[in-house]
Structures are given as structure tokens and as C-alpha cells.
Structure 1
Amino acid sequence: MNTLSLKNGLEKFGIFMLTFFFSTLALAQEATKNPDLNVNVTTTKTTTTEQWYSNPLYWVIGGLFVIVLIAIIARGNGKRD
């Protein structure tokens, strides 16, 4: 009985130490000074031609076509003998 309580106590202490270590590690990630936010961004405009497959309208129309085609094939001719 004594070894079981000792094992439980050591397990709780180990969990406490891991929790303490990870919380200290997480708090250490904060910067102590203000970060430098001066960022220069330069952009260049390039003209590109859009491909047909990058337009979402074609994907929606193609998806509807596939759904209708599957519905027609699954329906069959409707005559059952």
C-alpha cells in the first residue's frame, strides 16, 4: 500500500513539473521589447491570362452536369417487368 501511494505521489509530482516546465517555456516565448513593425512592401503588377480551369463557374457547371448525368444513368428507362 505504501509503494502505491509513493508511486501516485511521484506521478503527480512529475505531472506538476512537466506542467510547470511547459508553462514557463510558453511564457518565455513572449518578446520583452516591442517588435520592429517597419516593413517595406513593393508590389509589381503583372498581367496574366486566366485559364479556363481556374474559373469557378466552369467547375460548378461541370459538377452539375456530372450530377445530372449520374441521375439519368441511375434512373434507367423506368420500365420494370
Structure 2
Amino acid sequence: MNTALLSRKIERFGVLLLTFFFSALAFAQEKTTPTVDVTTTTTKTTTIEEWYSNPIYWVIGGLIFIIIIAIIARGNGKRD
């Protein structure tokens, strides 16, 4: 048997064992009957959204910026 082929098979077997081991650990951490005792209270707060947190303003600002750069880069179209 070729040593590269044997090495590849051993590597795949090692990956298989690690996958099995980590999946067993993940299942071992689950409880069959979870006990949840949570008390929640909610309060309604109103927040004012600032203009700079709205993405529409950023898009419009970016478009205006690109248009201004294009106008400046184009330069004077009239040449004598």
C-alpha cells in the first residue's frame, strides 16, 4: 500500500473519531427534562432614533458623494 494512501486513510479515521467524540460531548450536555424558572418583567421605553443611525441617510449621502466626485473628476468638458 502506498504510504500517502495509508496516511490519508488514517487521517480520515482520526477526523471520524473526533467528530464522533465532539457530537457525544454535545449530546451529553443536554438534560432530558430542563427546569426553567424564569420571572420576567417588561417595561416599555421609547427611544428616539438619531438620523445618523438610519441606513437610508447613509445611502443617500454616499450617492451624493459619488456624484460630487464624478463631477469634480470629469473636469471642464469645454476645450478650445
Q: Distance in 2 between matches of 1:52 and 1:37?
A: 41
Q: Distance in 1 between matches of 2:59 and 2:22?
A: 48
Give unmatched runs, 5+ long, in structure 2. Answer: none
RMSD over equivalenced CA pairs, Å: 3.0
CA deviation string 1:22-79 (max 9, x = no partner) = 2232133122514346654433222333222112332222112102101211221102
Give unmatched runs, 5+ long, in structure 1. Answer: none
Q: Distance in 1 between matches of 2:65 and 2:50?
A: 21
Map 1:25-44; keep pairs closer than 5 Å: 25-30=22-27, 31=30, 33-36=32-35, 39-44=38-43
Counterpart AA for 2:14: M
Count of residue pairs brought into register by the alignment: 77
Map 1:1-80; keep pairs closer than 5 Å: 5=3, 8-9=5-6, 11=7, 12-30=9-27, 31=30, 33-36=32-35, 39-80=38-79
TM-score of the superposed pair, with normalisation by structure 1: 0.60
- Which structure 1 residue ranges, 4+ long, deviate > 6 Å from structure 2? none
Judging changes above 3 Å, is the alpha-carbon distance between structure 1 residues 52 and 13 closer, same or farther for their aligned structure 2 residues?
Answer: closer
Greater shift after overlay, 42-51 or 68-77? 42-51
